[in-house]
Amino acid sequence: DAKTTQPPSMDCAEGRAANLPCNHSTISGNEYVYWYRQIHSQGPQYIIHGLKNNETNEMASLIITEDRKSSTLILPHATLRDTAVYYCIVRVHNTDKLIFGTGTRLQVFP
């Protein structure tokens, strides 16, 4: 079973920041937080991951709370092409299971 909870859906205006929350209150000390997204009819795409420090790459930023019980994925300037289902996953680094929950359906509107 997925160990994360996310809101089922969110809206965001194009050009604005999209902040997607995720709760993982039972996360273990050796578990990383991963984010993937699935654009309609495509395979899931890796976005970013982190352990306890905030992370940033060319796609997004990941903010993890100090107690590690929740995190937020930030898309700084959302575009229409960012419309997708976003999955927050906790996973022990280098193990093989990636367990997807129900995700958040992000709709970016013009």
Partner 1 sequence: DTAVSQTPKYLVTQMGNDKSIKCEQNLGHDTMYWYKQDSKKFLKIMFSYNNKELIINETVPNRFSPKSPDKAHLNLHINSLELGDSAVYFCASSQAGGTGELFFGEGSRLTVL
Compute the least distance from the CB of residue 39 to partner 1, in Å: 11
Choice between 16 and 54, CB closer to partner 1: 54
DSSP state of 5: B
x/- mask, partner 1, residues 88-107, rule CB under 8 A, reads ---x-xxxxxxxx-x-----
Choice between 12 and 89, CB closer to partner 1: 89
Q: Are β-strands 84-92 and 70-75 bridged in parallel, bridged antiparallel, or unpaired?
A: unpaired
Choice between 10 and 14, CB closer to partner 1: 10
Angle, CA 1 vertex, CA 25 and CA 45 arms, to 5°: 90
- Of 19, 12, 31, which Cα lies nearest the Cα of 81? 12
109 touching partner 1, by CB under 8 A:
no
Choice between 46 and 109, CB closer to partner 1: 46
Q: Which of residues 33-92 bind partner 1 (CB under 8 A)?
A: 34, 36, 38, 41-46, 49, 85, 87, 91
Angle, CA 38 vertex, CA 23 and CA 18 arms, to 5°: 55
Q: Please state, in angstroms and rounded to a whole number, the distance separating the CA atoms of residues 26 and 47.
A: 22
Q: Which residue has the tokens 């205006």?
A: 13
Binding site for partner 1 (CB under 8 A): 32, 34, 36, 38, 41-46, 49, 85, 87, 91, 93-100, 102
